[in-house]
Homo-oligomer: A and B are copies of this chain.
Amino acid sequence: MRSHGATTKRAQRLASIGRLLDAAQELFVSQGYRQTNLDQIASAAGLTKGAVYFYFRSKETVLLELLERVQAIVVDQARKVVAGTGPGAVDRLVAFLNQQSKLGVTHRDAVLLLILMSLEFSERKGPVRNMLRRVYRQLYALVERMVQDGQRSGEIRADVRARELSAIVMAIHDGTFLEWYRRSPALSGPEIVRALRGVMLTGISRAPARGLRGGVRRIQARAA
């Protein structure tokens, strides 16, 4: 009845699933999970509610598969980038932040989905919260390791514990995305990203103790 470009069953299946997931992602991000109903998702994908149930077991499953995709995009990529950079901890952190900034442009909704769902599901136990915790734990661990390395090597300030310092890094990171999301047209994307990086790196750098001045400047140069 409905005719799509490629007509093999397999292609149609993938196309429909893709359209449904894309539609769901956009709606979950812009309206929240709970406010989005399946009719909206389905019709945004050019299908009907029934089709959603043909491909997914439930509304929750749609979100879980979406988060699976997001995990691959956000966590796996970040790990790869971090692993491929070195040797300094700050270098890796810069690479990480650059990667996230790029994601913010190429996969804005994927990143926002992660952040927004982590808030919407923060107090509701169930598979979604578990999945989200898993993803965040991985990100936290990645950042915390870099911060610890940096503290050991003297690149990063040691007057705050690694746990709290990396929490700040994540907080700044998520906070900036949310701010951007909230005030979208009022803020310049590239500029805010650049500012973010500069502020964060300066902020976490080792305080320029006497005789070591220039440390901050050096870091800021790398981040530019």
A198 to chain B, nearest CB (A): 7
Query: Which of B167, B176, B187 is A183 in contact with, Cβ under 8 Å?
Result: B167
A213 touches B208 (CB 8 A): yes
Q: Please give, as numbers and ranges, the residues of chain B lying within 8 Å of A159 by CB-CB distance.
A: 198
Quick one: CB contact mask for A177-221 with B, threshold 8 Å, 1 for yes? 011111100111001101110111111110111000110110010
Question: In the bound complex, what is the Cα–Cα distance between A35 and B192 (angstroms)?
Answer: 33
A-B contact pairs, 8 of them (CB 8 A): A160-B191, A167-B176, A167-B183, A168-B176, A171-B178, A173-B175, A175-B176, A203-B204
Q: Please give, as numbers and ranges, the residues of chain B lying within 8 Å of A201 by CB-CB distance.
A: 203
Instruction: List the B residue with the shortest CB-CB distance to A122.
Output: B182
Sort chain A's interface into a size bin: 35 or more
Q: A30-B123, A202-B202, A203-B202 are in contact. Are A179 and B160 (CB under 8 A)?
A: no
Q: Please give, as numbers and ranges, the residues of chain B lying within 8 Å of A200 by CB-CB distance.
A: 199, 203
A160 touches B35 (CB 8 A): no
A34 at the interface (CB under 8 A from B): yes
A22 at the interface (CB under 8 A from B): no
Q: A199-B200, A199-B203, A204-B199 are in contact. Are A167 and B194 (CB under 8 A)?
A: no
Q: Please give, as numbers and ranges, the residues of chain B lying within 8 Å of A170 by CB-CB distance.
A: 175, 179
B187 touches A164 (CB 8 A): yes
Instruction: List the B residue with the shortest CB-CB distance to A188.
Output: B164
Quick one: CB contact mask for A155-177 with B, threshold 8 Å, 1 for yes? 00101110111011011111110
Q: Please give, as numbers and ranges, the residues of chain B lying within 8 Å of A188 by CB-CB distance.
A: 161, 164
